[in-house]
Amino acid sequence: MIVAMQEFATEEQIDTVIEKMVEHGVNVHRTTGASQSILAGVGPTQTIDLTVFEQMPGVMYVHRISSPYKLAGRGFRPQGTIIRFENGVEIGGREVVVMAGPCSIENEAQIHETARRVKAAGGKFLRGGAFKPRSSPYAFQGLGIPGLKLMHEAARANGLLTVSEVMEISQIDSMLPYTDLFQVGARNMQNFNLLRELGHLRKPILLKRGIAGTIEELLLSSEYILAGGNYDVLLCERGIRTYETATRNTMDISAIPMLHKLSHLPVIADPSHGTGKRDMVIPMALASVAAGADALIVEVHPNADKAASDAAQTLYLEQFEEMMRVVAAVAKSVGRSI
């Protein structure tokens, strides 16, 4: 349920409503705007008589939300969520934030050269997998924490933030000092224990859509994180598996405006995994920004053809620089910047 307080309702009135909600066994999440507070209640709200709340002093309206994702739903924060990072970078505002780097962190030279070029071209995050979810157990599995340390050093030396995938709960603590944004990969979108644990962190989460995940399932997965009190979740469209085989995945551009309509959470697009082909990354990046993406994440490597993973979809450095130029033009045409 959502209880919208009247503008300038007193703290006492708000507290009384919260107490009443708690009395009914409801868990309350409060959002305070410039002049108005919204109380979102999660719990056994189906059986509550809403008129009890409607009549309380300071209440503007009460609404039962039928959608199963109460905290991720647009109604919880109609104005949208902006995720703020330490160095002033914001996702969900006017700027389209670009994250780029190799699929896997491989060595110091690779990650430093990438960091330098990503920064110079206007990227804000350095990406790189240290723990890799590979389809084959015999494929390169990543360098683990030593690799993540290398990426963190390269990122900080160039004024960049880091994003890397966490595959299991036991990795969280050791990743914390080196990770500004935790990625949950497509294969783990419904690893509910991991999501619940990430809900207790106070670091932003990039949640990828599963290869067979519906939009509703993606939002329900994000709800696991939000329910723990971590509201900084970035939803990622990275392509879904369909009957089409011409591309690695089918990039669902329509998911971007749909997610914006259904949820207040910012949306990031991944045209690298979304297509699996490097010559399709730029067109899909442009389409994503035109469709309202708040951020982009792409794979780029100084020696892309020899990348240890996902070489076919990895941009050459020059292609990434070209992408930044053309994405800036589209961003401008839709009232945004990079």
Instruction: Choose the contact partner of 238 out of Mn ion, ligand PEP, none; CB within 5 to 8 A by kind.
Output: ligand PEP
Check: CB of residue 97 under 8 Å from CB of residue 87. Answer: no
Nearest-approach distance from CB 102 to Mn ion, in angstroms: 8
Beta carbons within 10 angstroms of residue 116's beta carbon: 16
Nearest-approach distance from CB 38 to ligand PEP, in angstroms: 33
| Interface with ligand PEP (CB under 6 A), residue from 44, 68, 78, 133 | 133
Closest CA to 209 of 246, 247, 238: 238
Diameter of the chain measured on Cα atoms: 67
Residue 185 binding ligand PEP, by CB under 6 A: yes
Instruction: Choose the contact partner of 119 out of ligand PEP, Mn ion, none; CB within 5 to 8 A by kind.
Output: none
| Interface with Mn ion (CB under 5 A), residue from 17, 38, 103, 115 | 103
Instruction: Choose the contact partner of 133 out of ligand PEP, Mn ion, none; CB within 5 to 8 A by kind.
Output: ligand PEP
Residue with CB nearest ligand PEP?
Answer: 185
The DSSP line for 210-241 is: PTT--HHHHHHHHHHHHHTT---EEEEE--B-
208 CB contacts (<8 Å, ≥6 apart)? 183, 184, 185, 186, 189, 236, 238, 270
Query: Quick one: 48 or 189, whose CB is closer to Mn ion?
Result: 189
Nearest-approach distance from CB 313 to Mn ion, in angstroms: 7
Residue 103 binding ligand PEP, by CB under 6 A: yes
Give the DSSP H or E segment for 41. Answer: strand 37-42
Residue 273 binding ligand PEP, by CB under 6 A: yes
Nearest-approach distance from CB 273 to Mn ion, in angstroms: 6
Check: CB of residue 273 under 8 Å from CB of residue 99. Answer: no
What CA–CA distance (Å, rounded) separates 315 from 280?
A: 10
| Positions in 282-321 near Mn ion (CB under 5 A) | 310
Instruction: Choose the contact partner of 186 out of ligand PEP, Mn ion, none; CB within 5 to 8 A by kind.
Output: ligand PEP
Check: CB of residue 187 under 8 Å from CB of residue 147. Answer: no
Q: Contact residues for Mn ion (CB under 5 A)?
A: 103, 310
Q: Contact residues for ligand PEP (CB under 6 A)?
A: 103, 129, 133, 185-187, 208, 238, 273
